[in-house]
Structure 1
Amino acid sequence: MNPLTAALEPLFAQLQPRLVEIYQDLHQHPELSMQEQRTAGIAADHLQRLGYVVTGGVGGTGVVGLLRNGDGPTVMLRADMDALPMAEQTGLPYASTATATDGDGRTVGVAHSCGHDLHVTWLMGAAQVLAAARGAWRGTLMVVFQPGEETAQGASAMIADWEHLGLPRAEVVLGQHVMVGAAGTVSYRPGVILSAADSLKVTLFGRGSHGSQPQTAVDPVVMAAATVMRLQTIVSREVAPLDSAVLTIGALQAGTKENIIPDDATLKLNMRTYDEAVRTHMLQAVRRICCAECDASGAPRPPEFTTLSSYPMTDNDHDATARVAAAFHAQFGDNALQSKPMSASEDFSVFGRTWGVPYVFWFVGGTDPRAYAKARAEGTLNTLPSNHSPRFAPVLEPTLKTGLQAMLSAAAAWLCAPPEGPRDGNA
């Protein structure tokens, strides 16, 4: 056990009720991406009471807390704050009934169906332990509460504000995410752990007319249907079998009435890739196919492409991950597992990529261990409510404590590390 998780043990019984209260409050009051004013205020107030130097409004609603504690590395711990535009169906007594207005002006349900409320709670708890245990570590702790992860806006927005606010750069960036997995376990991976993701809107232009006179129209519905089918061949026929990729058409929207051929149709698609060359090829292939289908249909103008979001791959630094893995195995024993790459995506790596410093991202299991073991034995793991399901609800224990231990263990690998000795072998 490292000095920071050792410091957690006598504090946890006191911290746990308050952290559960914070978590349930955040869960009941979710906020959409880049609208996290209330959540940011709770985090900022908490840090100020603990003696952190707090900067708010970073990248919109982001919060950065600094705790300087002598000479040593600057270590960043990050949590995302935003919720999803969906209604919750967990049946929990503290379930969200919140609604909000989204970017398109629609009223939508809002729920923490990805677990960011737990991420915020973990970081608030870790910040409190680190403030209470200053005798156990040296360096500068930077805690970052990030907005807008679900829309790939938040990390870039914070970075855009960083320098002119006089904030320091971290020497290592650390973050974690609750996922389907037995509660009490943590999973790490050197190298690529999360895919890149690109979401596009493609508008196909036709020429509208009466449904009884198709010869006078250029039908964008037929054009869209043909495009959807052809786009499916990118993965099956243009990506090598040993390369992984996903292309999903999530929306096809056209027309208002059965006897009116509309002027245009819209496709919304999402791609996941694990290799930059594959990513580039697929983006080019999408444009090639959409343009070719429009040309084949005699469309009056080329299609219009709009990027909805773009996430880089999360590619963990090998050396830094080895340090985190060693800390996890020391803390969790057999409950520290090596993960396979996941097809989810994150903007967490934007910080490390921008600053050119190592970063490590890992997972904390949030599924009831008995339910997970049963599903695994029956081969039904895919039926467990996962992130972005309206029924996603991590069990609080031991998930709450495990997430705190994981965050503190990873931070201790730098903040509690002994200073490097002379490199020439002379004392």
Structure 2
Amino acid sequence: MINPTERKRSESLFERANKHIPGGVNSPVRAFKSVGGTPIFFKKAEGAYLFDEDENRYIDFINSWGPMILGHGFPEVVSAIQKQAETAMSFGAPTELEIELAETICEMTGIDMVRMVNSGTEACMSAIRLARGYTGRNKVIKFEGCYHGHADSFLIKAGSGVSTLGLPNSPGVTSGTAQDTLTAPFNNLAAVEKLIEENPGEIAAIITEPVAGNMGCIPPLEGYMEGLRALCDEHGIVFIMDEVMTGFRLAPGGAQERLGVKADLVCYGKVIGGGMPVGAFGGKREIFDHIAPNGPVYQAGTLSGNPLAVVSGLTTLNYLKDHPETYAQIDHMTERIETGMRELLDKHGFEYRINRLGSMISIHFCDTDVVDFNSAMEGNNDKFKQFFHGMLNEGVYLPPSAFETWFISMTIGESELEHTLYAADRVLQEMKK
């Protein structure tokens, strides 16, 4: 067990960081605002473990929010990055490595073309622009609780009705931008149909996470993704799957393969960089014929296709392609985590729901099914805070928010499973007092 007083260096670093970094962090969820307390500052990672600045060790169930599917410090990936760094760190010009990564992505997913960018936000933002340029339409449908990065078009919330015109959810987002973004509840086809009826011939794209990951893990209900695909076909709408989280994690071909539904455009990130900052968007050739330099829709990035990021991602994808059994292994371990957690939550008498698909999983302290943002908000966040800090003190690092999915890596083995369930048993027992 880790005594919170044994994190003195993290506390001093957070105090120091606040002087020159807004909130002391470079991404808001790291600030522990949702769970309280001081964020942990890390200095080393290896396999299934993180090590903080005070030498405490934690089992990692975040894995850099998804990309470390092979675990931290995977030897083949580290070696490839080191070798590339000795050759060149950046060109700002074409390389053969970019072609190899594009070929690998297209081979594994079945898409026609792919354009590299530097983040998931860029990928989603660019896909929306391309869909608008291709269709000549302006409006986009997104789903409440789905996160597609911090571009203006995506920082929109739903109103009180089943579906409504969006309103800005962040200062700095203009009302004009909001008017072109329509929102509906996740897993609700009827709401989407209503929006399309109310805006005939105006919808350029529907963008969705195939498995939501920013309101906890929320898989699609049966027929939901197929229904979206059919609506897009019927009304000439570009169907965009945001696979930044799910791409190459749920299957070699991502959620498209796992769910058996094809998109027109797909956004990637996380795993395709193997831990390096990277993103990509891809899809049908007829749509990509409209992007610069072949077409009028402009998109660019000085460091897109950076050789360090590309070689890291390429090595990761090649391993997954050559070892497809990795997916069954990770899925099986995540299933055992789910089963063990269910047994413990039942044992200690907690109301809960566990959502899981493949190696994405989340626990919600509530007594109703979690299928969208509103139902996710029904969870008891105070209980989650207790659970989070209890597990943290037991050396298990969970996402510091009730609204984030856990990501399991292939380095989670029997000892990590045993420790996690032992820790959860102790924590849940303490929470009952």
> Normalised by the size of structure 1, how large is the TM-score?
0.29
Report which of the two has the higher share of strand: 1
User: Which one has the largest radius of gyration?
Assistant: 1
